[in-house]
């Protein structure tokens, strides 16, 4: 893992060096293995606190890649959209309405495939509150687009943001969720009791990972 540690002396830009420095000042570090290709989906887990966004943005800047991420559409509307929404969009956020299913999945998969470079980060829990299952949208986007799945983890026990694991999904949900669960074994979020189990809804034909 130490081979993947981002340090000021190893990153290329001033923005990266500043981000690495700020993370170091608050006791965090980033472990990163280069992406396996120009397109893919990244899941971010566990997502249990607003601090995840702060640490995640700093990690994104430290890595230096223009990752996109899903944000609720209400952030981009009205007065909020003119202020917070503009900042979120600048940082890579894209609006998606919650509860929109197959049409959104097909549209995002197509967007990934028609782009020269496009990596999208998604929090599969969909909320900071504990839920009994993950939202399966990320899985269907990745399998529809036929792109790798990156597994980013926010480990508050070790104070690390880690993106070194990339999976090729098989389409067999139980098998794929078991592989994902192995990556996150022992990882502790900011509020561990809020982290949901690595499982899809039973009607998705899944068993708990």
Where exactly are the structural domains of the chain? 2-119+136-192
pLDDT over 50 (residue 30): yes
DSSP 83: I
Q: Is 194 helix (H, G, I), strand (E, B) or coil?
A: helix
Please state the φ and ψ torsions of residue 160, each to the nearest 5 degrees: -130, 140
Question: 111-140 as b/e, with b when 16 or more CB fall inside 10 Å?
Answer: bbeeeeebbbbbbbbbebeebebbbbbbbb
Residue in 42, 7, 25 with CA at minimum distance from that of residue 148 = 42
Cα–Cα distance for residue pair 87/30, rounded to 1 Å: 23
pLDDT over 70 (residue 60): yes
Token representation of residue 78: 């009205």
Owner of token pair 């209400």: 74
- The mean pLDDT of 161-182, rounded to a whole number, is 96
Predicted local distance difference test score (pLDDT) of residue 170? 96
pLDDT digits (tens, 9 = 90+) for 92-108: 677 665 554 558 888 89
Question: 58-93 as b/e, with b when 16 or more CB fall inside 10 Å?
Answer: bbbbbbeeebbbbbeeebbeeeebeeebeebbebbb
* Helix extents (H) in the chain: 14-25, 51-63, 78-80, 86-90, 102-113, 137-145, 173-183
Looking only at the bridges linking them, the beta strands covering 118-122 and 93-96 are unpaired
Instruction: Kindly give, in sequence order, each residue whose CB lies less than 8 Å from that of residue 94, ignoring residues fewer than 6 positions away.
Output: 68, 69, 70, 71, 120
Mean pLDDT of the chain, nearest integer: 86
Predicted local distance difference test score (pLDDT) of residue 205? 46
Predicted local distance difference test score (pLDDT) of residue 84? 65
Q: Who wins on pLDDT, 120 or 203?
A: 120
Name the percent of the chain lying above pLDDT 90: 60
pLDDT grade for 206, boundaries at 50, 70 and 90: very low
Predicted local distance difference test score (pLDDT) of residue 182? 97
């Amino acid at each position: 893992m130490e081979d993947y540690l981002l340090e000021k002396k190893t990153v290329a830009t001033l923005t990266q060096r500043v981000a690495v420095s700020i993370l170091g000042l608050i006791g965090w570090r980033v472990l990163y293995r280069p992406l396996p290709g120009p397109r893919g989906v990244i899941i971010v887990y566990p997502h249990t606190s607003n601090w995840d966004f702060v640490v995640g943005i700093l990690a994104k800047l430290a890595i230096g890649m223009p990752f996109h991420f899903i944000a609720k559409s209400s952030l981009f509307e009205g007065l909020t959209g003119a202020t917070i929404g503009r900042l979120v969009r600048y940082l890579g956020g894209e609006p998606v309405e919650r509860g929109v299913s197959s049409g959104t999945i097909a549209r995002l998969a197509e967007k990934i495939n028609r782009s020269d470079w496009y990596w999208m980060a998604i929090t599969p829990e969909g909320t900071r509150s504990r839920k009994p299952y993950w939202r399966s949208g990320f899985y269907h986007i990745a399998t529809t687009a036929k792109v790798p799945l990156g597994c980013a983890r926010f480990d508050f026990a070790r104070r690390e943001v880690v993106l070194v694991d990339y999976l090729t999904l098989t389409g067999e949900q139980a098998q794929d969720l078991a592989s994902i669960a192995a990556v996150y074994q022992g990882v502790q979020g900011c509020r561990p009791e809020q982290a949901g189990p690595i499982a899809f809804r039973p009607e998705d034909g899944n068993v708990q990972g």
